[in-house]
Structure 1
Amino acid sequence: MKKLHRLCVPLAVSLFAVAACGDDNDTSDAAEEPAEEPAGEPAEEPAEEPAEEPVDTTAAAGEDMSSEERCARNEAAGQIVYLTNFQFVATPGILDIVAAEDLGYYDELCLDVDIRAGDGTNPSLVAAGTATMARVGSPNDLVVAQSNDVDAIAIATYTNAPQIILMTMTDKITELTELEGTTLGYKGAMPPEISAMLVEAGVDVGNIETVSVGFDPTILPRGQVDSLTGFKSNEVVRLRGEGEDITVFDPIDYGVFASSGSIIANRAFIDEHRDAAADFLWASFRALEYCEANIDECLGYAEARSTAGYDIDGERSRWEVEIEQLRSTQLDAGLGAQTIEQWESGAGLLVDAGVVEVVPDLAGFVDTELATSVSVNGELVSEAP
């Protein structure tokens, strides 16, 4: 887990101001007049003062959390309605948000956060102002929405790698070229990352029958499909946990890069309450680091919100897989950092797959500064724990 920095300056997420760490109203005795030098002896040169250390002017989102001014500012932002995209599973962008609420991190910052289970319509709901913020499975979800004139803004991306993979039964298929003449199952829509991987591997994609399937991964070992798309932290963990011998094909291994797990926000909210949004991110990232060390406690918070059965062991495995990938691919600028180049790699796959005709203007809806404003040298800033 990354170490938290303590900065001796008050909060000003978007206004960087220097504040002295000592007491401005020092009432110590005035300096004595220098003693008169003996006659005829030259006065000694005053000792050279040591150079002052430079003052760190980067304001921390975690400082001065009881500030009345900050409370008034965040309360003026109103309620933040946050939508998950997959119930309350243990994934970054969901578990940390739930934990931040139940740990009181949002309350400490006077943020009123209402967490609700969302779905694939999250971009539309955020754009319309029905929700304030939401998680989407990947940056490409917002790129597609923007191409359909659904306007929301991305403020953070958790993982600089795709979660999507392709699985086969090891005793049947161990090379992608062996997929020709077989049936491939996908959920919802064929993932562009998988299509790009097949092309890179030299597979004749036109010679593969693709079918839309449900969410039961056991159709693969039962032989209903020859290959199946899934997620590293979900279907792979489940099937291997049930003793199935599967081969996993990861797009990264074929030079196909994309990101996963983004937070999107209503554009008007960010324009009007940018500092409150930065506080929200800081509290969420603080909770993520807490959950890294206290996963069972955080899973308990998520379980309490679930209206159906909650597989604690399965969700713990999901978290372990996803947090390892998050940390191993995290950009140098810190948690949630995102770049235009990072988004371009995934958006280009959408064009290649024919999902969108052109890549929209990413700079118009990808905020590359908000998430990094709560970190210094890649590490989350905070008061002393």
Structure 2
Amino acid sequence: MFRSLRRLPRPRVNRRAVGAVVVAATLSLSACGMSEDTTASGSGAEDTTSCQTRTPVRLVLQWVAQSQFAGYYAAKEKGYYDAECLDVTIQEGGVNIVPQQVLSAGNAEFAVSHVTKTMATREQGADLVNIGQVFQRGAYLQVAWADSGIKQLADLKGKKVGSWGFGNELVLFAAMKGAGVDPAKDVTVVQQPFDMSLLLKREVDAAQAKIYNEYAQLLETVNPETGALYKPEDFSAISLQDAGYTSLEDGIYARGDWLAEDANKDVAVKFLKATYKGWGFCRDDLAGCVEIVLNNGSALGQGHQTWMLNEVNKLVWPSPDGVGTVDQKAWDQTIKIAIDAKVLKADPGEGAFRRDLTEKADQELKAEGFDITGEGYKPETVELTAGGK
């Protein structure tokens, strides 16, 4: 999610990602000699491709290296981008790096971002297009103490409600309004840091969280009264997704003018194909994928990243229409939430997303034996550890 972790001292140096926006590279069309890749699930991977040249492309993420972006790191580490004759540079996000702005400025070919934030940038004149919706489901929670009496959104009336802001409040406010709670009148909204400290200190009655990140931070904290970790029953977690307020999060974006060139459309298909294969690897080899994330400089530990990837996989898989396919109903609801919150003035229209590139990538993957839907996917049971170590 956007800015979901505090920037902590990092034990590893990420030698593969760049630390700042790089000067735009000149794209050249790859000439590849492809040999057959028989990997069916994306969990094998060795680069069996011989490329005369590789097309350099840059991907900018929303935040630092963590399992939220595991599929991209896996695609790079396992050689899937190389197999498509791509030379991919992964740039981490940060406090001063906004992916959709980096993309619109021409300093990346692809960006990972939320629909609402990207469409707001598009409405301001940037020709940004969703070409692959990796996360099929939303992950927002509003978490309170179990003894607070807060069991549903209507119970937030009269309470201190934590929110990160930066656009992350949109879904929460829409859900509250739907439950008869006016965020402007019925609650005290407290600016929440990107952690759960305010809730743990009972300085807010409910705090914003993502199921794959901040919620785990609570369960990785020692209860001073028992000396053991807090348990799910110590909290009341309200899922905005379950309340009917899905808002599409991490998707892949490119510039419309860049995609107008046929050579670049081919590059985009190759990028999507390799990326989806990376997410397939993370689906099928949880531990192996977490190791890749850790090796790319994650600031948090193995326990936390394992929980995160397990929960993120639930957002990606299953993908009934094929991995990366935009669900029209979920898109429409996301846009409606943004318009109701006055973040968007109007529906961005049909050109805001396109399915054809993902459809082609999925068709090629399916022909190679890759499972593009993950219909049989089953999450693992992850035991959290103190501090997420």
Is the TM value for this pair above 0.5?
Answer: yes
The RMSD of aligned alpha carbons is 2.4
Match of 2:203 in 1: 224
Deviations 1:139-196 (A, max 9, x none): 1121111122222221100122221121111101223333222111111335221112
Task: Give the residue type in structure 1 aligned to 2:79.
Answer: G
- Structure 1 contact 90–318 (Cα < 8 Å) conserved: yes
Deviations 1:38-96 (A, max 9, x none): xxxxxxxxxxxxxxxxxxxxxxxxxxx9787xx56x74xx31011111211112xx211
Matches within 5 A, 1:251-330: 251-272=240-261, 273-306=264-297, 309-328=299-318, 330=319
Match of 2:58 in 1: 81
Matches within 5 A, 1:20-99: 71=51, 75=54, 78-91=55-68, 94-99=69-74
Distance in 2 of aligned mates of 1:293 and 1:347: 32
Match of 1:152 in 2: 128
The one of 82, 86, 103 aligned to 1:111: 86
Task: Give the residue type in structure 2 aligned to 1:314.
Answer: H
Deviations 1:261-314 (A, max 9, x none): 1011133332221112111111111121122222222222222221x6331110
SS at match of 2:250: strand
SS at match of 2:58: strand
Give the 3 Å change call, closer, same or farther, for CA 364–384 of structure 1 in structure 2. closer
- Structure 2 contact 127–257 (Cα < 8 Å) conserved: no
Give the 3 Å change call, closer, same or farther, for CA 142–381 of structure 1 in structure 2. farther
Match of 1:236 in 2: 215
Distance in 1 of aligned mates of 2:370 and 2:340: 48
Offset at 1:384?
8.5
Task: Give the residue type in structure 2 aligned to 1:218.
Answer: S
SS at match of 1:159: coil
Offset at 1:102?
1.2
Distance in 2 of aligned mates of 1:384 and 1:198: 41
SS at match of 1:313: helix
Give the 3 Å change call, closer, same or farther, for CA 383–293 of structure 1 in structure 2. closer
- Structure 1 contact 184–225 (Cα < 8 Å) conserved: yes
Task: Give the residue type in structure 2 aligned to 1:382.
Answer: E
Task: Give the residue type in structure 1 aligned to 2:354.
Answer: D
SS at match of 1:249: strand
Match of 1:60 in 2: none
- Structure 1 contact 281–371 (Cα < 8 Å) conserved: yes
The one of 355, 358, 382 aligned to 2:346: 358
**Count of aligned pairs:** 308
Offset at 1:340?
4.3
Match of 2:115 in 1: 139
The one of 164, 169, 172 aligned to 1:191: 169
SS at match of 1:207: coil
Distance in 1 of aligned mates of 2:137 and 2:290: 24
Offset at 1:376?
4.1
The one of 146, 159, 171 aligned to 1:182: 159
Distance in 2 of aligned mates of 1:253 and 1:115: 33
Segments of 5+ residues of structure 1 without an aligned counterpart are 1-64
Give the TM-score of the pair, scaled to structure 2. Answer: 0.73
Matched, 1:203 2:192: no
- Structure 2 contact 130–251 (Cα < 8 Å) conserved: yes
Give the 3 Å change call, closer, same or farther, for CA 87–381 of structure 1 in structure 2. farther
Task: Give the residue type in structure 2 aligned to 1:166.
Answer: Q
- Identity across the alignment (%): 20
Distance in 2 of aligned mates of 1:232 and 1:250: 9
- Structure 1 contact 154–264 (Cα < 8 Å) conserved: yes
